Amino acid sequence: MGKKTKKPGKGKEKTERKTAKAEVKRARRENDKVSQEDDIDAILLSIQKEEAKKKEVHVEENVPKPSPRSNGSLNINPLKETELILYGGEYYNGNKTYVYGDLYRCDVDKLEWKLVSSPNSPPPRSAHQAVAWKNYIYIFGGEFTSPNQERFHHYKDFWMLDLKTNQWEQINLKGCPSPRSGHRMVLYKHKIIIFGGFYDTLREVRYYNDLHVFDLDQFKVITLALMWQEIKPSPGCMWPSARSGFQFFIFQDEVYSLTFFDILFWKYLLYSNITWSMDMFLIQIFLYGGYSKEVASDKNSSEKGIVHSDMWSLDPRTWEWNKVKKSGMPPGPRAGFSMCVHKKRALLFGGVVDMEVEGDVMMSLFLNELYGFQLDNHRWYPLELRKGKSTKEKVYPSIDMNY
């Protein structure tokens, strides 16, 4: 039997449409004539001038809740567990993109918001990362987007916010990670760990899989010698591929109840020459999912989006990566999902899947699934929330009671 020849038609037309659309967008983005509205350098300079006018910290009490936004950062105040710290984010209204640099503090017991304005604040940003340690919030990277989303500025600045004084300070040290957004950052003991992210150069988008560490315990003690440390892969080792928008979380196994034999074992360690510490307990940093693009092998060298569904574990004592084998009933590929750790399991919710339905038209399917990942045996399983009991209030006969 001979080969069947494909009739030229929809496939060819579809490719031509996509190529033409990509060329128009690329030409528009590379055009030297930038409108005043989309001149990022001019916008950021104007913001900087306005910031310079601030002379003191101003806290506005009991303000309306923050405006709608995405890709901001939200942290629990280490000094007060009932307070949340919200910084930055962006909002697209269907026509323009707005990027924020405002700082809010929320009392979750009273459901009250405070708006904090400080001199020397970071410029507005979204898709940055923030961690809390002692009485500080640390922020790295992020991006500023022009109103029409055609131009981007990626940050590589590192900031700290003193939660006692509401004062910002920029930390300028050697060896910091390159400009990026969409990265992830976690705190292990007194070390900030950053992995991945992306950088849009207008001509291409670069995705990263580098690993950087910053030791907060040494900060301001040996400042002159202090710098970021990049952990580079050794030859032949396993390492996650480049990506952004993944989830990055820490699991430290709980200390078990001590038996009589456990007590004898720890006494033996205490009075022997064997070095021991809390690091003897299981500590892992998990990475799951994410998104990246690669150049397709077609004639037009078009970009192809990849939604990752692999999981990795990182040992913060040796900086070794290991790929976690899928078991149980794992979720399908997705991006933009959320994860958190509760006891010995991680919970995953939501996400979005982009699908091409006709020509170059993309449709987004938003998910509301809930999955659990058992951190001790690495098994996935779907979860379903039980329906709540009826909220109808029961009416009881009135009874006069004297106390």
> Tokens representing 113?
């918001």
**CA-CA distance, 298 to 86, in Å (whole number)?**
44
Helix ranges, 164-272 (H) = 260-271
Q: How many beta carbons lie within 10 A of that of residue 294, not counting itself?
A: 12
Q: Which residue has the tokens 């999902």?
A: 337
Nearest to 43 by CA among 33, 32, 35, 52: 35
Q: How many beta carbons lie within 10 A of that of residue 298, not counting itself?
A: 10
User: What is the predicted pLDDT for the residue at 102?
Assistant: 97
Q: Is 340 in contact with 331 (CB distance < 8 Å)?
A: no
User: What is the predicted pLDDT for the residue at 390?
Assistant: 56
**CA-CA distance, 157 to 141, in Å (whole number)?**
6
The answer for residues whose C-beta is within 8 angstroms of residue 94's C-beta and 6 or more apart is: none
User: What is the predicted pLDDT for the residue at 204?
Assistant: 79
* Per-position DSSP letters for 200-222, written without gaps between them: E-SS-EEEEEEEEEEETTSTTTS
Q: Which stretch of DSSP H or E encloses residue 27?
A: helix 10-30
Burial of 6 (0-12, 13-18, 19+ CB in 10 A): exposed
Nearest to 351 by CA among 365, 340, 363: 365
User: What is the predicted pLDDT for the residue at 394?
Assistant: 40
Strand 338-342 with 320-324, pairing: unpaired
Q: Which stretch of DSSP H or E encloses residue 395?
A: none
Strand 205-215 with 191-200, pairing: antiparallel
Q: Is 135 in contact with 159 (CB distance < 8 Å)?
A: no
Nearest to 116 by CA among 67, 163, 46: 163
88: left (phi over 0), alpha (psi -120 to 50) or beta: left
pTM of the model: 0.80
Phi, psi values for residue 153, rounded to 5°: -120, 120
Report residue 372 CA to chain centroid gap: 19
Selected from 3.40.50, 2.60.40, 2.120.10, 1.10.260, the CATH number assigned to the domain covering 43-382 reads 2.120.10
The 10 Å CB-count burial string (b at 16+, else e) for 242-251 is bbbbbbbbbb
Q: Is 333 in contact with 305 (CB distance < 8 Å)?
A: no
> Tokens representing 338?
């959320």
> Tokens representing 48?
């900087």
The 10 Å CB-count burial string (b at 16+, else e) for 31-43 is eeeeeeebebeeb
Low-confidence ranges of the chain (pLDDT < 70): 1-37, 220-226, 254-281, 296-301, 356-360, 388-403
Nearest to 73 by CA among 114, 97, 104, 44: 104
**CA-CA distance, 351 to 357, in Å (whole number)?**
19
**Long-range contacts for 348-357 (Cβ within 8 Å, ≥24 apart)?**
348/247, 348/288, 348/372, 348/373, 353/307, 354/305
Q: Which stretch of DSSP H or E encloses residue 40?
A: helix 40-52
Q: How many beta carbons lie within 10 A of that of residue 178, not counting itself?
A: 13
